[in-house]
Chain A
Amino acid sequence: MIWQIDLFLLILVVICGFGTVATRGLLSSTIVFSAYSFLMCLLYAEMGAVDVAFTEAVVGAGISTIFFIAALFRSTRRSPLIIRGVDDPHHFKDQGLKLLPLGLSFITGALLFYGMADFPRWGDPGSQPNTHVSAYYIKNAVRETHVPNLVTAVLGDYRGYDTMFELVVIYCAGVSVVSILKQEGEES
Protein backbone atom coordinates (compact mmCIF):
# COMPACT_ATOMS: atom_id res chain seq x y z
CA MET A 1 0.00 0.00 0.00
CA ILE A 2 1.57 3.26 -1.16
CA TRP A 3 -0.13 6.11 0.65
CA GLN A 4 0.47 8.70 -2.09
CA ILE A 5 -1.43 6.66 -4.66
CA ASP A 6 -4.10 5.87 -2.08
CA LEU A 7 -4.57 9.53 -1.21
CA PHE A 8 -4.76 10.51 -4.89
CA LEU A 9 -7.31 7.78 -5.67
CA LEU A 10 -9.41 8.51 -2.59
CA ILE A 11 -9.57 12.23 -3.43
CA LEU A 12 -10.72 11.30 -6.95
CA VAL A 13 -13.28 8.88 -5.46
CA VAL A 14 -14.72 11.65 -3.28
CA ILE A 15 -14.81 14.06 -6.24
CA CYS A 16 -16.60 11.44 -8.35
CA GLY A 17 -19.03 10.74 -5.53
CA PHE A 18 -19.95 14.42 -5.27
CA GLY A 19 -20.02 14.68 -9.07
CA THR A 20 -22.51 11.81 -9.34
CA VAL A 21 -24.93 13.59 -7.03
CA ALA A 22 -24.29 17.11 -8.26
CA THR A 23 -24.53 16.45 -12.01
CA ARG A 24 -27.98 17.37 -13.33
CA GLY A 25 -28.04 15.31 -16.52
CA LEU A 26 -28.77 11.68 -15.67
CA LEU A 27 -26.58 10.34 -18.50
CA SER A 28 -23.51 12.29 -17.36
CA SER A 29 -24.29 11.28 -13.80
CA THR A 30 -24.20 7.64 -14.89
CA ILE A 31 -20.86 8.12 -16.62
CA VAL A 32 -19.35 9.80 -13.55
CA PHE A 33 -20.69 6.92 -11.46
CA SER A 34 -18.94 4.49 -13.78
CA ALA A 35 -15.71 6.44 -13.27
CA TYR A 36 -16.32 6.17 -9.51
CA SER A 37 -16.62 2.38 -9.84
CA PHE A 38 -13.43 2.22 -11.85
CA LEU A 39 -11.54 4.25 -9.24
CA MET A 40 -12.81 1.86 -6.56
CA CYS A 41 -11.54 -0.98 -8.75
CA LEU A 42 -8.10 0.68 -8.85
CA LEU A 43 -8.18 1.02 -5.06
CA TYR A 44 -8.98 -2.68 -4.60
CA ALA A 45 -6.25 -3.66 -7.03
CA GLU A 46 -3.83 -1.39 -5.24
CA MET A 47 -4.68 -3.09 -1.92
CA GLY A 48 -3.96 -6.48 -3.48
CA ALA A 49 -7.54 -7.79 -3.78
CA VAL A 50 -7.24 -8.47 -7.48
CA ASP A 51 -10.31 -10.71 -7.75
CA VAL A 52 -12.52 -8.09 -6.11
CA ALA A 53 -11.01 -5.45 -8.39
CA PHE A 54 -11.79 -7.57 -11.43
CA THR A 55 -15.39 -8.04 -10.32
CA GLU A 56 -15.75 -4.33 -9.63
CA ALA A 57 -14.34 -3.44 -13.05
CA VAL A 58 -16.56 -5.91 -14.88
CA VAL A 59 -19.78 -5.46 -12.91
CA GLY A 60 -19.56 -2.00 -11.34
CA ALA A 61 -17.93 -0.08 -14.15
CA GLY A 62 -19.08 -2.28 -17.01
CA ILE A 63 -22.42 -4.00 -16.98
CA SER A 64 -24.23 -1.84 -14.42
CA THR A 65 -23.43 1.26 -16.50
CA ILE A 66 -25.01 -0.48 -19.50
CA PHE A 67 -28.08 -1.30 -17.42
CA PHE A 68 -28.34 2.28 -16.16
CA ILE A 69 -28.10 3.65 -19.69
CA ALA A 70 -30.61 1.10 -21.00
CA ALA A 71 -33.01 2.18 -18.25
CA LEU A 72 -32.32 5.85 -19.07
CA PHE A 73 -33.22 5.30 -22.71
CA ARG A 74 -36.66 4.19 -21.56
CA SER A 75 -37.16 7.30 -19.43
CA THR A 76 -36.37 10.98 -19.78
CA ARG A 77 -32.83 12.22 -19.93
CA ARG A 78 -32.92 15.00 -17.33
CA SER A 79 -33.49 14.86 -13.61
CA PRO A 80 -36.81 16.35 -12.47
CA LEU A 81 -34.93 19.42 -11.22
CA ILE A 82 -34.31 20.64 -14.78
CA ILE A 83 -37.76 19.78 -16.04
CA ARG A 84 -39.36 21.83 -13.30
CA GLY A 85 -36.76 24.55 -13.73
CA VAL A 86 -34.33 25.54 -11.02
CA ASP A 87 -36.09 28.87 -10.48
CA ASP A 88 -39.21 26.98 -9.50
CA PRO A 89 -40.25 28.41 -6.09
CA HIS A 90 -41.31 24.94 -4.91
CA HIS A 91 -37.75 23.80 -5.30
CA PHE A 92 -36.37 26.22 -2.74
CA LYS A 93 -39.28 26.12 -0.34
CA ASP A 94 -38.45 22.71 1.10
CA GLN A 95 -34.75 23.47 1.38
CA GLY A 96 -34.96 23.85 5.16
CA LEU A 97 -36.26 20.30 5.64
CA LYS A 98 -33.07 18.90 4.16
CA LEU A 99 -31.11 19.94 7.25
CA LEU A 100 -32.43 16.85 9.04
CA PRO A 101 -31.04 14.31 6.50
CA LEU A 102 -27.81 16.31 6.37
CA GLY A 103 -27.43 16.19 10.14
CA LEU A 104 -28.29 12.49 10.19
CA SER A 105 -25.71 11.65 7.56
CA PHE A 106 -23.05 13.66 9.40
CA ILE A 107 -23.85 11.84 12.66
CA THR A 108 -23.72 8.47 10.88
CA GLY A 109 -20.41 9.39 9.29
CA ALA A 110 -18.99 10.48 12.64
CA LEU A 111 -20.11 7.20 14.23
CA LEU A 112 -18.49 5.24 11.40
CA PHE A 113 -15.24 7.15 11.87
CA TYR A 114 -15.46 6.46 15.61
CA GLY A 115 -15.96 2.74 14.92
CA MET A 116 -13.02 2.76 12.52
CA ALA A 117 -10.67 3.38 15.44
CA ASP A 118 -11.25 -0.23 16.56
CA PHE A 119 -10.18 -1.69 13.22
CA PRO A 120 -6.93 -3.64 13.14
CA ARG A 121 -4.10 -2.14 11.11
CA TRP A 122 -4.35 -2.89 7.38
CA GLY A 123 -2.54 -6.14 6.57
CA ASP A 124 -1.70 -6.83 10.22
CA PRO A 125 -0.87 -10.58 10.38
CA GLY A 126 -1.69 -10.74 14.08
CA SER A 127 -5.19 -9.29 13.81
CA GLN A 128 -8.28 -11.31 14.74
CA PRO A 129 -9.62 -12.09 11.22
CA ASN A 130 -6.19 -12.97 9.91
CA THR A 131 -5.46 -15.53 12.63
CA HIS A 132 -8.82 -17.34 12.59
CA VAL A 133 -9.44 -19.19 9.29
CA SER A 134 -7.12 -17.37 6.86
CA ALA A 135 -4.12 -19.14 8.31
CA TYR A 136 -5.74 -22.53 7.64
CA TYR A 137 -6.56 -21.58 4.05
CA ILE A 138 -3.07 -20.26 3.34
CA LYS A 139 -1.48 -23.34 4.86
CA ASN A 140 -3.71 -26.05 3.38
CA ALA A 141 -5.80 -24.79 0.46
CA VAL A 142 -3.28 -25.41 -2.32
CA ARG A 143 -2.35 -28.83 -0.96
CA GLU A 144 -5.98 -29.90 -0.46
CA THR A 145 -7.58 -28.54 -3.63
CA HIS A 146 -4.68 -28.17 -6.09
CA VAL A 147 -5.91 -24.68 -7.01
CA PRO A 148 -3.10 -22.09 -7.00
CA ASN A 149 -5.52 -19.13 -6.79
CA LEU A 150 -6.61 -19.18 -3.15
CA VAL A 151 -9.63 -16.98 -3.82
CA THR A 152 -11.06 -19.49 -6.29
CA ALA A 153 -10.36 -22.34 -3.88
CA VAL A 154 -12.17 -20.58 -1.03
CA LEU A 155 -15.09 -19.42 -3.19
CA GLY A 156 -15.61 -22.68 -5.02
CA ASP A 157 -14.79 -25.25 -2.38
CA TYR A 158 -14.62 -24.09 1.23
CA ARG A 159 -17.37 -21.49 0.76
CA GLY A 160 -19.33 -23.34 -1.92
CA TYR A 161 -22.69 -22.60 -0.31
CA ASP A 162 -22.05 -18.86 -0.48
CA THR A 163 -21.25 -19.00 -4.18
CA MET A 164 -24.26 -21.20 -4.89
CA PHE A 165 -26.70 -18.86 -3.19
CA GLU A 166 -24.96 -15.87 -4.79
CA LEU A 167 -25.86 -17.41 -8.14
CA VAL A 168 -29.41 -18.07 -6.93
CA VAL A 169 -29.67 -14.42 -5.82
CA ILE A 170 -28.57 -13.26 -9.29
CA TYR A 171 -31.14 -15.61 -10.82
CA CYS A 172 -33.84 -14.17 -8.55
CA ALA A 173 -32.79 -10.64 -9.56
CA GLY A 174 -33.11 -11.59 -13.23
CA VAL A 175 -36.49 -13.23 -12.70
CA SER A 176 -37.82 -10.25 -10.76
CA VAL A 177 -36.66 -7.73 -13.38
CA VAL A 178 -38.27 -9.82 -16.11
CA SER A 179 -41.50 -10.32 -14.20
CA ILE A 180 -41.81 -6.60 -13.42
CA LEU A 181 -41.06 -5.32 -16.91
CA LYS A 182 -42.14 -8.03 -19.31
CA GLN A 183 -45.44 -7.28 -20.99
CA GLU A 184 -48.04 -10.00 -21.30
CA GLY A 185 -48.82 -11.71 -24.59
CA GLU A 186 -45.69 -10.55 -26.40
CA GLU A 187 -43.64 -13.68 -26.03
CA SER A 188 -41.02 -13.85 -28.76
Chain B
Amino acid sequence: MRTLQQDAHIRMPWQDIILQTSVRVLIPFIQLFGLYVIVHGHYSPGGGFQGGVILGSAIILMALVFGLRASMHYISENANKTLSILGPFVFCFIGALCIVFGGGFLDYGALNKIIPLGWNEWRSFGIFLVELGVGIGVMSIMLRIYRVLSSGGTMDRGL
Protein backbone atom coordinates (compact mmCIF):
# COMPACT_ATOMS: atom_id res chain seq x y z
CA MET B 1 0.00 0.00 0.00
CA ARG B 2 1.38 3.37 -1.02
CA THR B 3 0.81 6.36 1.19
CA LEU B 4 -0.16 9.73 -0.22
CA GLN B 5 3.22 11.06 0.76
CA GLN B 6 5.02 8.55 -1.42
CA ASP B 7 2.68 9.45 -4.29
CA ALA B 8 3.72 13.06 -3.90
CA HIS B 9 7.39 12.12 -4.10
CA ILE B 10 6.81 10.47 -7.45
CA ARG B 11 4.65 13.16 -8.96
CA MET B 12 6.41 16.36 -7.82
CA PRO B 13 3.46 18.66 -8.55
CA TRP B 14 5.49 21.86 -8.34
CA GLN B 15 7.39 20.92 -11.47
CA ASP B 16 4.26 21.09 -13.61
CA ILE B 17 4.60 24.14 -15.88
CA ILE B 18 0.86 24.43 -16.64
CA LEU B 19 0.02 24.44 -12.94
CA GLN B 20 2.75 26.96 -12.15
CA THR B 21 1.77 29.38 -14.91
CA SER B 22 -1.93 29.29 -14.14
CA VAL B 23 -1.35 29.72 -10.41
CA ARG B 24 1.02 32.61 -11.07
CA VAL B 25 -1.80 34.35 -12.94
CA LEU B 26 -4.40 33.38 -10.36
CA ILE B 27 -2.70 34.45 -7.13
CA PRO B 28 -2.88 38.28 -7.60
CA PHE B 29 -6.59 38.03 -8.34
CA ILE B 30 -7.21 35.89 -5.26
CA GLN B 31 -5.32 38.39 -3.12
CA LEU B 32 -7.22 41.30 -4.67
CA PHE B 33 -10.48 39.50 -3.94
CA GLY B 34 -9.39 38.92 -0.35
CA LEU B 35 -8.60 42.61 0.12
CA TYR B 36 -11.92 43.51 -1.49
CA VAL B 37 -13.78 41.22 0.91
CA ILE B 38 -12.06 42.84 3.92
CA VAL B 39 -12.54 46.42 2.76
CA HIS B 40 -16.03 45.98 1.35
CA GLY B 41 -17.33 44.17 4.43
CA HIS B 42 -19.24 47.33 5.39
CA TYR B 43 -21.44 47.13 2.32
CA SER B 44 -21.64 43.46 1.36
CA PRO B 45 -21.23 40.08 3.03
CA GLY B 46 -17.70 39.51 4.16
CA GLY B 47 -15.30 41.14 6.52
CA GLY B 48 -11.97 40.56 8.18
CA PHE B 49 -12.39 36.90 8.93
CA GLN B 50 -13.44 35.72 5.47
CA GLY B 51 -11.03 38.06 3.69
CA GLY B 52 -8.17 36.94 5.90
CA VAL B 53 -8.85 33.30 5.11
CA ILE B 54 -8.92 34.10 1.37
CA LEU B 55 -5.62 35.99 1.62
CA GLY B 56 -4.09 33.12 3.55
CA SER B 57 -5.32 30.55 1.06
CA ALA B 58 -3.61 32.48 -1.76
CA ILE B 59 -0.26 31.96 -0.03
CA ILE B 60 -1.21 28.34 0.73
CA LEU B 61 -1.89 27.82 -2.99
CA MET B 62 1.55 29.23 -3.70
CA ALA B 63 3.07 26.86 -1.17
CA LEU B 64 1.20 23.91 -2.73
CA VAL B 65 2.36 24.60 -6.27
CA PHE B 66 5.81 26.17 -5.89
CA GLY B 67 6.85 24.37 -2.72
CA LEU B 68 7.02 25.57 0.85
CA ARG B 69 10.41 27.26 0.36
CA ALA B 70 9.06 29.55 -2.36
CA SER B 71 6.24 30.76 -0.11
CA MET B 72 8.76 31.37 2.68
CA HIS B 73 10.59 33.65 0.26
CA TYR B 74 7.56 35.97 0.15
CA ILE B 75 6.43 35.75 3.78
CA SER B 76 9.21 34.42 5.94
CA GLU B 77 8.41 32.43 9.04
CA ASN B 78 9.56 35.23 11.34
CA ALA B 79 7.46 37.83 9.50
CA ASN B 80 4.50 35.47 9.68
CA LYS B 81 5.04 35.04 13.41
CA THR B 82 5.04 38.81 13.85
CA LEU B 83 1.93 39.25 11.69
CA SER B 84 0.00 36.60 13.59
CA ILE B 85 0.40 38.50 16.87
CA LEU B 86 0.00 41.87 15.12
CA GLY B 87 -3.63 41.01 14.25
CA PRO B 88 -4.92 40.56 17.82
CA PHE B 89 -2.66 43.41 18.92
CA VAL B 90 -4.22 45.88 16.44
CA PHE B 91 -7.66 44.90 17.71
CA CYS B 92 -6.77 45.35 21.38
CA PHE B 93 -4.76 48.50 20.66
CA ILE B 94 -7.70 50.19 18.94
CA GLY B 95 -9.90 49.16 21.87
CA ALA B 96 -7.43 50.52 24.41
CA LEU B 97 -6.95 53.73 22.42
CA CYS B 98 -10.67 54.37 22.83
CA ILE B 99 -10.23 54.23 26.62
CA VAL B 100 -7.32 56.70 26.43
CA PHE B 101 -9.51 59.19 24.57
CA GLY B 102 -12.30 58.96 27.08
CA GLY B 103 -14.66 56.28 25.79
CA GLY B 104 -15.32 52.70 26.79
CA PHE B 105 -13.28 49.76 25.53
CA LEU B 106 -13.91 49.41 21.75
CA ASP B 107 -16.06 52.55 21.84
CA TYR B 108 -14.73 53.83 18.52
CA GLY B 109 -16.59 57.12 18.64
CA ALA B 110 -14.09 58.35 21.24
CA LEU B 111 -11.38 58.39 18.56
CA ASN B 112 -13.17 61.46 17.21
CA LYS B 113 -10.81 63.52 19.39
CA ILE B 114 -7.79 62.55 17.25
CA ILE B 115 -9.24 63.40 13.86
CA PRO B 116 -12.66 65.03 14.05
CA LEU B 117 -14.67 63.17 11.43
CA GLY B 118 -17.85 62.91 13.43
CA TRP B 119 -18.82 60.41 16.13
CA ASN B 120 -20.80 58.07 13.89
CA GLU B 121 -18.25 58.20 11.07
CA TRP B 122 -15.59 57.11 13.52
CA ARG B 123 -17.68 54.15 14.60
CA SER B 124 -17.72 53.05 10.95
CA PHE B 125 -14.00 53.72 10.53
CA GLY B 126 -13.16 51.99 13.81
CA ILE B 127 -14.91 48.85 12.61
CA PHE B 128 -12.78 49.02 9.47
CA LEU B 129 -9.53 49.29 11.46
CA VAL B 130 -10.55 46.39 13.65
CA GLU B 131 -11.50 44.26 10.64
CA LEU B 132 -8.07 44.99 9.20
CA GLY B 133 -6.53 43.55 12.36
CA VAL B 134 -8.77 40.49 12.12
CA GLY B 135 -7.78 40.02 8.48
CA ILE B 136 -4.03 40.22 9.17
CA GLY B 137 -4.27 37.89 12.13
CA VAL B 138 -6.43 35.25 10.47
CA MET B 139 -4.32 35.27 7.30
CA SER B 140 -1.04 34.62 9.05
CA ILE B 141 -2.47 32.13 11.55
CA MET B 142 -4.04 30.04 8.76
CA LEU B 143 -0.77 30.15 6.84
CA ARG B 144 1.19 29.16 9.94
CA ILE B 145 -1.10 26.21 10.74
CA TYR B 146 -0.80 25.02 7.13
CA ARG B 147 2.98 25.29 7.12
CA VAL B 148 3.38 23.33 10.33
CA LEU B 149 0.80 20.70 9.30
CA SER B 150 2.11 20.16 5.79
CA SER B 151 5.79 19.94 6.73
CA GLY B 152 5.18 17.76 9.78
CA GLY B 153 6.72 20.42 12.01
CA THR B 154 10.09 20.67 10.29
CA MET B 155 9.23 23.68 8.07
CA ASP B 156 11.69 22.59 5.40
CA ARG B 157 9.60 20.74 2.82
CA GLY B 158 5.91 20.98 2.12
CA LEU B 159 3.60 18.36 0.70
Residues of chain B contacted by A62 (CB below 8 angstroms): 53, 57
Q: Does A168 contact B (CB under 8 A)?
A: yes
CB distance from A113 to the nearest CB of B (A): 31
A181 CA to B5 CA in the complex, in Å? Answer: 18
Q: Does A97 contact B (CB under 8 A)?
A: no
Residues of chain A contacted by B88 (CB below 8 angstroms): 164, 167-168, 171
Q: Does A148 contact B (CB under 8 A)?
A: yes
Known: A59-B53, A63-B56. A164 touches B46 (CB 8 A): no
* Interface residues of A, count at CB 8 A: 54
A54 CA to B130 CA in the complex, in Å? Answer: 19
Question: Once the chains bind, are B87 and A160 in contact (CB under 8 Å)?
Answer: no
Main secondary structure on chain B at its contact with chain A? Answer: helix
Known: A145-B123, A183-B153. A164 touches B3 (CB 8 A): no
Q: Which of A5-13, A75-83, A103-111, A127-135 contacts B (4 or more CB under 8 A)?
A: A75-83
Question: Once the chains bind, are B155 and A188 in contact (CB under 8 Å)?
Answer: yes
Residues of chain B contacted by A98 (CB below 8 angstroms): none
Known: A51-B45, A149-B44. A76 touches B3 (CB 8 A): yes
**CB closest residue in chain A, given B8:** A73
Residues of chain A contacted by B141 (CB below 8 angstroms): 170-171, 173-174
Known: A146-B121, A167-B134. A157 touches B84 (CB 8 A): no
Residues of chain B contacted by A70 (CB below 8 angstroms): 146, 149-150, 159
Q: Does A124 contact B (CB under 8 A)?
A: no
- Among A58, A163, A186, the residue within 8 A (CB) of B156 is A186
- What 0/1 pattern do residues 172 to 188 of A give for CB contact below 8 A with B? 01100110011100111
User: In residues 72-92 of chain A, which contact B (Cβ within 8 Å)?
Assistant: 72-78, 83
- What 0/1 pattern do residues 144 to 172 of A give for CB contact below 8 A with B? 11111101110111001101101110110
Question: Once the chains bind, are B145 and A54 in contact (CB under 8 Å)?
Answer: no
User: In residues 79-108 of chain B, which contact A (Cβ within 8 Å)?
Assistant: 84-85, 87-88, 91-92, 95, 105-106, 108
User: In residues 43-92 of chain B, which contact A (Cβ within 8 Å)?
Assistant: 43-47, 49-50, 53-54, 56-57, 60, 72, 76-77, 84-85, 87-88, 91-92
User: In residues 100-159 of chain B, which contact A (Cβ within 8 Å)?
Assistant: 105-106, 108, 120-121, 123-124, 126-127, 130-131, 133-134, 137-138, 141-142, 144-146, 148-150, 152-156, 159
**21 sample A-B contacts, Cβ–Cβ < 8 Å, listed by A number:** A55-B49, A58-B53, A66-B57, A67-B146, A67-B149, A70-B150, A73-B4, A73-B5, A74-B152, A77-B1, A147-B124, A155-B47, A157-B123, A166-B49, A167-B133, A171-B87, A171-B137, A177-B149, A186-B154, A186-B156, A187-B155
Q: Contacts A59-B50, A67-B145 known; list 4 others, CB within 8 Å.
A: A76-B3, A156-B130, A171-B137, A174-B144
